[in-house]
Amino acid sequence: MQRTLLITGASRGIGLAMVRAAAGRGDRVIACVRDPGSAADLAAAARGAAPGAIAIRAADVTDPASLAAAALAEQGAIDVVVCNAGVYRARGGIEAPGYTADAWAETMMTNVAGVFFTVRAFLPHLERAPNPKIAIISSVMASSAKAPGGSYIYRASKAAATNLARNLATDLGPRGIAVGAYHPGWVRTDMGGTGAELDAATSAAGLLARFETLDLDTTGVFEDYRGTPIPY
């Protein structure tokens, strides 16, 4: 059975890899990016996929009006909303100069509020699906069990996104929608760096497999791309 997945942050990295993998297995993918005109790799993936398999939509997760317009472009059900869009704006210890007010604001708006805005915009489409799911791409760096210091903004944002996933699971469970938070692994992307352990295709395949297991019995889960539980 063909499913419809909506994936934010679909222009590169893990998001693009998930788009390719989902379309490759026969699903329809709504690939959301801020600027479709600059998403050359995504456009190439759409051309190489089956006709209609990948629909590219302009959507800025920090802008509810942009998301509302993208939602209006869709008429049918969406089986899985994957909140993947994210930024990593500063690294280092507490005195690192990158921890500016603007960096804090941008990261929280994208990594946390962006998840909320995305879910709210596409909630009516999820409610039309028989077994709707929301997958929030978090990080093991969100876990209080892994807190070696540094990367303060990113860690805080992912902890908040995971908390948001837990609360959404509580609120949306009675409406038949399952919600999970997922660590994609340390992936060789612009964010993860060239020394990371995994390629994006391996992470994407693992994540899509985990989304398959998500249901109302497992809603609220926080685990990695292999299914290993992560303590919050």
75-131 pLDDT per residue, tens: 899 999 999 999 999 999 999 999 999 999 999 999 999 999 999 999 999 999 999
Domains of the chain in sequence order: 4-224 (3.40.50.720)
Q: Is the pLDDT of residue 190 over 80?
A: no
Q: How confident is the model at residue 198 (pLDDT cuts 50, 70, 90)?
A: confident
Please write the tens of the pLDDT for every residue from 126-147: 999 999 999 999 999 999 887 8
pLDDT at 215: 98
Mean pLDDT, all residues of the chain = 95
pLDDT at 218: 98
pLDDT at 2: 86
Q: Look up residue 112 and give its DSSP letter.
A: I
∠ Cα 182 20 192 (to 5°): 50
Q: Is 106 left (phi over 0), alpha (psi -120 to 50) or beta?
A: alpha
How many C-beta atoms surround the C-beta of residue 163 within 10 A? 16
Q: How confident is the model at residue 191 (pLDDT cuts 50, 70, 90)?
A: low
Cα distance from N-terminal residue to C-terminal residue, the chain: 34
- Given 88, 99, 152, 225, the catalytic residue: 152
Residue type (1 letter), 187? V
User: Catalytic residue at 232?
Assistant: no
Q: What is the pTM of this model?
A: 0.96
Nearest 10 degrees: Cα torsion 84, 88, 92, 98:
-160
Q: Helix (H, G, I), strand (E, B), or coil: what is residue 176?
A: coil
Q: How confident is the model at residue 192 (pLDDT cuts 50, 70, 90)?
A: low
